[in-house]
Structure 1
Amino acid sequence: MALRLVFSHKDLARVRLAPASDPLWELTLSVHRLHRPRSARSYEDWTGWVRTIGSSRAHAAARVLGTLIPVRGYFPDFLTPPEHFASIDEGIDIVVRTPRRRLREELGRLDRLPQWGQGLRDGARAQLDGLAAALRTYHDVLIGPHWNRIGQRLDADRNARVAQLLAGGTERMLSGFGPLMRWRAPVLEVDYPVHREVHLGGRGLLLVPSFFCHLTPVSLADDDLPPVLVYPVDPDPDWMRFPDQDRHLEALLGRTRAAVLRSAAYGSSTSQIARRLRVSPASVSEHVGVLRDSGLLASRRQGRSVLHCPTRLGSGLVRGCLDA
């Protein structure tokens, strides 16, 4: 089985990478991981951690979303809007403003829809507000504590793709997605659970790296929507960390400077670190300068951006705090 994406020359010129981690795709695909805890060892620590969370609201949100996002098969496209948004709140606002006609069409395709889902399908305000609350609670409690590490991993993948693009153009980048994807001009063939062929028709393609996507890339079900392809980026084995494990690094460097050093673990630009930590680029530049002068960070230019990466000393310092 495969998904065949057929490109024209216009499409090759309109391939783009998502500019930042997409919280709604991560949320949606994490629901799959949560309800299939043994499907991937990389997420077992996370699913185990979720079970220990004492928030009844978070567990209720996970149950609600599980009814809309089945482990296998179709789930509604409106939960993962293709528009770019800067925050989870903006994304949720787009979701709850989905036209009623589209809600009826997409929710009507689910094999099972609970009683409360009937009101959601009709666009009832109470059910839409309930969905918004479930999305926000799930994200804030179950994903939010790990969002910095997720963003680091996805930014690292994005930087590697940009390097391929700069070195050899769009086709070089598309050829670098093996073995899950195979570029044979003008077709990108993707391992997929069903056979589909989509002619992009000059609309281009948005490539979205995902932390919780596992093994198989994911696309929107409706071919008339802007083409999106979400592809898996494997987590590091030790990605699950807790704040108290970083206290030694923060005591040594200060909270923000320690966060900058950790955030640059895979190579990040000033703007990426600033966005991830929600601080100003000027503040990041100041901390980067101190870390670089101390021999903990090194900077190099990549295209129009400057990437900051830990030196061996900086990496060892972070790992030493983790080991502690």
Structure 2
Amino acid sequence: MHFGAEDLLDVRFAAEPLPLVELCLALAAWQRTDRPGVFARWRRQVARELPSDARPLLHLLRPDGDNPAFVEPPVPDLDAALDAVREGGRQLPYEDLVRAASRTRGGADPGGWLRGLWEQDREAWALLDRSLRSAHAALIAPRWREIRQSFRADVAWRARMLAGHGIKAALAGTHPGARWSGTTLAVPGPPDFETRLGGRGLTLMPSAFWTGRPLLAPRPDGSHLLVYPALTPLPLVAPAGADGSLDALLGRTRAAVLQLLTDRRTTSEVARDLGISLPSVSEHTRTLRAAGLITTERDGKAVLHAATGLGMDLLRSGG
């Protein structure tokens, strides 16, 4: 992403999560296989909960998050977002549906549903509306409190990083591999593309479900939306709320890991002291390290972790 001076002056956070964007990312995350230590149990739960009338969406929504833009409008109200889907469908590019159909199993278009959308078939659009409503009721509505908690915690943490370290650090923190070269932010991984933001603004939106590299999407006003994984993914958000501000930000177990690492400890010591598994410790330390809150180094066969200055500041501010 190529930033001009106007772009760097016009970076803001979304006011709240976007229901259909989160729904599409949830269904994409369900089809992914990364981060099994965090999402495996949630994926099994979704397999049981997802209604049959929501499954046509899987022909549109893919694990890499490269979804047709019309089905995930950046609108904060669900009913208004569903209206926006239908309105966007009136100018639906045929290429979007060709791409979606070509990426289904065997390149099939089950029942001609995707073609029916392009041809403005009433029944095809009614099926899409039912599928979106059903999937939202099953996956998003029951978890909305936790989704908002994850969203707000990430925004609060990243705003603090912005205040203390600047906009470049806040943006680079959206992905462990993100690197700045002048005013260009590069993130590794396919597909390769370049975007010049053109001074029209960039809105940041952390997602409680997304696990891949940041996704960039144009908005109707010409600006862009950057969706990235929230610091605390949905499965690690305390369902009933957390007792302290740091627990609310990081999740109770991850906050406890950071607290332990005010003194250097090995992975095995953290697992022993908290009574959790080694893979769980590795998952938590990987996320804390990507956020710049801890460092990790190898000493012979041991792997040692310790809180950074930023991590210590966060512990002090969080009580």
Q: TM-score, normalised by structure 1?
A: 0.65
Residues 1:140 and 2:137 are matched in the alignment: yes
Which structure 2 residues correspond to residues 33-44 of structure 1 after superposition, within 5 A? Answer: 33-36=29-32, 40-44=36-40
Gaps of 5+ in 2: 250-316
Corresponding residue to 1:78 among 65, 70, 74: 70
Give the conservation status (yes or no) of the 8 Å contact 1:204–1:227.
yes
Q: Are the counterparts in 1 of residues 53 and 130 from structure 2 also a CA contact under 8 Å?
A: no
- Which residue of the partner structure matches residue 60 of structure 1? 53
- Mapped to 2, the partners of 1:17 and 1:192 lie a distance apart of 24
Match of 2:23 in 1: 27
Which of 71, 74, 86 pairs up with 1:96? 86
Q: 1:159-174 to 2 correspondence within 5 Å?
A: 159-174=156-171
Alignment correspondent of 2:5? 9
Whether the 8 Å CA contact 1:146–1:240 is kept in 2: the answer is no
1:235–1:175 CA distance, 2 compared to 1 (3 A) = closer
Report the Cα distance in structure 1 between the residues aligned to 2:10 and 2:33, rounded to whole angstroms.
Answer: 37
1 or 2 for the larger relative contact order (CA 8 Å, sep ≥6)?
A: 1
Q: Is residue 86 of structure 2 the alignment partner of residue 106 of structure 1?
A: no
Shift of 1:237: 8.5
Judged with a 3 Å threshold, the aligned counterparts in structure 2 of structure 1 residues 191 and 229 are, in CA distance, closer, same or farther, namely farther
Correspondence list, 1:188-207, <5 A: 188-207=185-204
Q: Give the distance between the partners of 1:28 and 1:204, measured in 2 at CA.
A: 23
Which letter does structure 2 place at the counterpart of 1:266? A
Aligned length in residues: 247
The alignment partner of 1:101 has SS state of coil
2:45 matched residue in structure 1 = 49
Uncovered stretches (5+) of structure 1, i.e. residues with no partner: 247-258, 268-309, 313-324
- What letter matches 1:79 in structure 2? V
Q: What one-letter code is carried by the residue in structure 1 that aligns with 2:52?
A: H
> C-alpha offsets along residues 251-286 of structure 1, whole Å, 9 cap, x if unaligned?
xxxxxxxx797999526xxxxxxxxxxxxxxxxxxx
Q: How does 1:209-288 map to 2 (within 5 A)?
A: 209-220=206-217, 226-235=223-232, 239=236, 266=248
Pair 1:260–1:124, CA change in 2 (3 A): farther
**Runs of 4+, deviation exceeding 6 Å:** 221-224, 259-264
What percentage of aligned pairs have identical amino acids? 31
| CA deviation string 1:65-88 (max 9, x = no partner) | 100113347421112224xx3322
**TM-score, normalisation: structure 2:** 0.66
User: Does the CA-based 8 Å contact 2:64-2:212 persist in structure 1?
Assistant: no
TM-aligned CA distance change 1:26 to 1:34, over 3 Å? same
What is the one-letter code of the residue matched to 1:107? L
CA distance in 2, matches of 1:66, 1:311: 41
Looking at structure 2, the residues matched to 73 and 21 of structure 1 have their Cα atoms a distance apart, in angstroms, of 17
